[in-house]
């Protein structure tokens, strides 16, 4: 269901009320309602669940993966049942894995009682196979996208993208990893589930009986970013621990939360190597102690361990760049322990992290490169909300462009945190407010956090798939903002197909 202009105005009014709240006497209440932590309350009693690898059926046409979307029951709290959704199970989905050059088919059967979609986040593929709002899967129906994988090794993911319902569907549990390999092995830890471990981060709220609490998922009350939970699940495991048996372990971290931003690092301050971001490996490892991930972002890190030790991965308050009240209400004062890692008494020695990881060709963007501007306000993009019948941009297949994205904020002196995700294409962050981006933003990306009063410039080369009918999307990946209409559509067309773009108005700004 597409939000009406009245919805957007109501959400904007709520945001304005938040700003005025301290003056109106609500300040103490707001501070009591925000500022969450679980530090000191966990015992790390539950073994971390590892999403299984889904074996494909091998056919003469390529690899076929089969996913079934359905409802189930999960036990996050002992003795309490929680109604959830999942792919091929009660909650989350299996990890799909394929190599560059593979011809893949994914059969997605919808066993739910309502329409959904399945989007391949970060995958470069034809628009009609993208799984956005224009590829709905009706109840008891199946969808069979087919494409050839042609992109570098990366940690991607899949999730629903039904406009107006994305936040609810992901929150109920529909998400999974899609790992792409490219045959170029730099020597990183690579044994899935042993020293190459997926870490899917989500926050939830629960009622006393164990059922999911969805309050605030679409800005109920004075929520400004959508639902923020006070319970953290990792791979669908509450209060988790992971046992490791190697001296170095690769963690593929995905922020699959609706709105929460994590600033993750270890409580002992140890240094780890950032080796990959959303769209692929870095050219060389970057030593870090913390990494901030907004919803939809991924990071691959390699962490050293010593025999017998225990280390806790913790998210400290992220710097969201908003005013003091918005910052707190958006999770900027929250601290969460995410996962305890237990090293075995004896560890197998891992090779050191290679000094060179991958060949990362630059995006040849210069002074003459076409630049498009996008302005994010509280709940709009370029002053508009999503319209299925409007194409906002038309891009030439194979073109190199710079997209300049500004979070201008809404009410004077304020503004909500946002992120910016573009389908089909990976990009390089050229600069942030005119300055060189921080280390964690220098790799290949497809989602970037954009704080208020910030401009990021993104250099991207679009793919070869020309389609004058089916669009790709760009949007804020805070899912309530996306559902509220912070999303636009663009076509990628060859010069030969440009004349076929018809039937829908083209937006101008």
Q: Where are the beta strands (DSSP E) in 351-497?
A: 370-376, 393-396, 400-407, 418-422, 427-432, 444-445, 447-450, 454-461, 472-475, 487-493
- Read off the pTM: 0.93
How would you write the pLDDT of the chain (509 residues) with one tens digit per residue? 444 444 544 445 444 444 444 433 444 545 555 579 999 999 999 999 999 999 999 999 899 999 999 999 999 999 999 999 999 999 999 999 999 999 999 999 999 999 999 999 999 999 999 999 999 999 999 999 999 999 999 999 999 999 999 999 999 999 999 999 998 889 999 999 999 999 999 999 999 999 999 998 886 556 789 999 999 999 999 999 999 999 999 999 999 999 999 999 999 999 999 999 999 999 999 999 999 999 999 999 999 999 999 999 999 999 999 888 889 999 999 999 999 999 999 999 999 999 999 999 999 999 999 999 999 998 899 999 999 999 999 999 999 999 999 999 765 557 899 999 999 999 999 999 999 999 999 999 999 999 999 999 999 999 999 999 999 999 999 999 999 999 999 999 999 999 999 766 776 54
Under 8 Å between Cβ of 163 and 387: no
Return phi, psi of residue 434, to 5°. Answer: 80, 0
Quick one: pLDDT at residue 20?
44
Q: Which residues pair with 234 in a beta bridge?
A: 201, 237
Burial class (CB in 10 A: 0-12, 13-18, 19+), 453: middle
pLDDT digits (tens, 9 = 90+) for 345-356: 999 999 999 999
Kindly state the tokens that stand for 111: 């066993």
Each residue of 294-340: pLDDT tens digit? Answer: 999 999 999 999 999 999 999 999 999 988 888 999 999 999 999 99
Q: CA-CA distance, 23 to 278, in Å (whole number)?
A: 41
Q: Is the dihedral of CA 129, 130, 136, 139 positive or negative?
A: positive
Triad 418, 422, 426: Cα angle to 5°: 120
The C-alpha atoms of residue 80 and residue 95 are separated, in whole angstroms, by 27
CA 289 to chain centre: 21
Beta-strand (E) ranges in 78-175?
80-87, 96-99, 103-110, 119-121, 142-143, 146-148, 154-159
- H runs (alpha helix) in 97-249: 166-172
Distance CA(142)–CA(134), nearest Å, equals 15
Neighbours of 408 (CB within 10 A): 14
The DSSP element (H or E) to which 481 belongs, if any, is helix 479-483
Report the alpha-carbon angle 376-321-206, nearest 5.
Answer: 90
Return the percentage of the chain with pLDDT > 70, whole number: 91
- Written as six digits, the tokens of 358 are 């991958």
d(CA 187, CA 383): 47
How many Cβ atoms are within 10 Å of 493's Cβ, its own excluded? 20
The tokens for 297 are 């972002």
DSSP letter for each residue of 1-56: -PPPHHHHHHHHHHHHHHHHHHHHT-HHHHHHHS--B-TTT----EEPP-PPB-PP
- Give 102-126 pLDDT, tens digit per residue: 999 999 999 999 999 999 999 999 9
Distance between CA 50 and CA 197 in Å, rounded? 7
Q: Which runs of consecutive H residues, i.e. helices, occur in 219-351?
A: 324-329
Residue 236, φ and ψ in degrees, nearest 5: 80, 15
Separation between Cα atoms, residue 219 and residue 108, nearest integer Å: 30
pLDDT of res. 508: 53
Look at the alpha carbons of 420, 114, 83, 55 in this order and tell me if their dihedral is positive or negative: negative
Q: Which residues contact 41 (CB under 8 A, 6 or more apart)?
A: none
For 385, how many CA atoms within 13 A lie in the half-sphere containing its CB?
21
Q: Using alpha carbons only, give the angle 392, 398, 401 rounded to the nearest 5 degrees.
A: 55
How far, in Å, CA of 237 to CA of 374, rounded?
38
On whether the CB atoms of residues 253 and 44 are closer than 8 A, the answer is: no
């Amino acid at each position: 269901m597409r939000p009406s202009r009245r919805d957007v105005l109501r959400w904007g009014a709520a945001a304005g009320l938040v700003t005025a709240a301290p003056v109106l006497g609500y300040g103490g209440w707001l501070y009591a309602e925000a500022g969450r932590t679980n530090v000191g309350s966990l015992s790390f009693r539950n073994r971390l669940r590892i999403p299984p690898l889904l074996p494909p059926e091998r056919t003469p046409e390529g690899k076929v993966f089969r996913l079934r979307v359905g409802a189930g029951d999960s036990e996050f709290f002992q003795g309490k049942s929680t109604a959830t959704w999942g792919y091929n199970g009660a909650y989350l989905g299996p990890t799909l894995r394929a190599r560059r050059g593979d011809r893949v088919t994914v059969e997605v059967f919808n066993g739910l009682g309502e329409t959904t979609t399945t989007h391949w986040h970060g995958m470069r593929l034809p628009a009609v196979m993208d799984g956005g709002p224009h590829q709905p899967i009706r109840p008891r129906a199946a969808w069979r996208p087919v494409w050839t994988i042609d992109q570098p090794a990366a940690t991607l993911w899949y999730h629903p993208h039904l406009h107006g319902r994305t936040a609810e569907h992901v929150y109920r549990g529909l998400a999974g990893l899609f790992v792409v390999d490219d045959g170029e092995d730099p020597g990183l830890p690579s044994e899935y589930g042993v020293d190459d471990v997926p870490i899917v981060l989500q926050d939830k709220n629960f009622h006393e009986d164990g059922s999911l609490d969805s309050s605030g998922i679409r800005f109920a009350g004075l929520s400004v970013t959508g639902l923020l939970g006070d319970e953290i699940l990792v791979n669908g495991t509450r209060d988790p621990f992971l046992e490791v048996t190697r001296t170095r372990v690769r963690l593929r971290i995905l922020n699959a939360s609706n709105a929460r931003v994590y600033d993750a690092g270890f409580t002992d301050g140890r240094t780890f190597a950032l080796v990959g971001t959303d769209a692929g490996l870095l050219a060389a490892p970057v030593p870090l102690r913390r990494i901030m991930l907004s919803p939809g972002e991924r990071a691959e890190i390699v962490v050293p361990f010593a025999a017998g030790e225990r280390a806790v991965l913790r998210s400290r308050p992220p710097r969201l760049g908003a005013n003091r009240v918005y910052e707190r209400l958006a999770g900027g004062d929250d601290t969460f322990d995410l996962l305890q890692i237990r090293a075995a008494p004896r560890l197998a020695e891992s090779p050191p992290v290679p000094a060179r990881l991958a060949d990362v060709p630059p995006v040849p963007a210069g002074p003459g490169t076409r630049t498009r501007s996008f302005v994010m306000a509280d709940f709009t993009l370029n002053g508009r909300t999503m319209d299925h019948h409007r194409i906002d941009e038309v891009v030439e297949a194979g073109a190199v462009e710079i997209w300049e994205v500004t979070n201008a904020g809404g009410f004077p002196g304020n503004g909500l945190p946002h992120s910016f995700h573009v389908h089909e294409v990976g990009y390089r962050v050229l600069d942030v407010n005119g300055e060189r981006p921080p280390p964690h933003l220098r790799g290949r990306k497809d989602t970037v956090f954009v704080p208020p009063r910030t401009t990021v410039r993104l250099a991207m080369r679009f793919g070869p798939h020309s389609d004058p009918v089916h669009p790709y999307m760009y949007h804020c990946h805070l899912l309530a903002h996306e559902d509220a209409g912070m999303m636009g559509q663009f076509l990628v067309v060859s010069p030969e197909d440009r004349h076929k773009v018809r039937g829908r108005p083209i937006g101008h700004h």
